[in-house]
Amino acid sequence: MSDIEIPESHPRYQSLLTRHRIEAGVEKGITSNQGLIAQGRGEAFDYLLGEQTIPSADAAERAAAAHLLLADHPVVSVNGNVAALCPAEVGELAEAVGADVEVNLFNRTEERMQAIADHLREHGVDEVKGLTADGRIPGLDHERAKVDADGIRSADVVVVPLEDGDRAEALGEMDKVEIVVDLNPMSRSAQVATVPIVDNIIRALPNITVHAEELSGASCEELEAIVADFDADDALGAAEKAIRSGGDE
């Protein structure tokens, strides 16, 4: 993506950068055409949030970090848009919390799975799961049901950014802790999440990583207190209020 020339002084710098990354992802075969539509929908919500991390989102990101540090087997799930937008940030988060990285797609082909895995490795992710697909998520009849048995299938905490609502519901039925990054607080994914993060993924993943690094020396009791203090309904309500009022909670 180094050939994209947008001056950082441009008032729409981040927005234009993410658009170009999604476009480049389609050209590279890692992002589906439907991903373009999903990106536009999310960008509209981000605009209403003032393109900023609101306080309730930052609190959710801190709770997410605590969950990940407490986890026995955390996994970061990656789809085409995530791979296009923030591949290096995925690797940095995974390293900070000791998580696996697994590719999971609705529009799944072997070529696209391999292209995303290669793209993640090019950006510093050492091991990428998802290609084995020797496990399934019960209750799903499409390609997102296919997971690795030693990845998402056996995980206790899963980061599911830019998620399909039906898989989020199915993972919830498996009693997994779900950390969902979704700019729409009214989406099914956000509504069923253990920790809904209403923030742009290009801000959310680095923020979770920073919180994880800051909390790396915390005791289990301290981390559990952060988890207990977080209220998903309050976070969703604050985000909806911010959207309706133009970024002010």
Residue 56, pLDDT score: 97
Residue-level pLDDT at 4: 58
pLDDT of residue 2: 45
154: number of CA atoms within 13 Å, CB side? 13
Helix, strand, or coil (residue 102)? strand
Give the dihedral sign, CA 123/127/128/131: positive
Q: Would you state the pLDDT for residue 35?
A: 63
Give Cβ neighbours of residue 14 (< 8 Å, ≥ 6 apart).
Answer: 51, 200, 202
Tokens found for residue 112: 């696209």
CB 97 within 8 A of CB 215: no
Report the run of H or E that residue 89 belongs to, with start and end: helix 87-97
Using DSSP, state whether 157 is helix, strand or coil. Answer: strand
Per-residue tokens: 6 = 């947008």
pLDDT tens by residue, 204-232? 999 999 999 999 999 999 999 999 999 99
Low-confidence residues in the chain, pLDDT < 70: 1-14, 16, 33, 35-37, 40, 163, 247
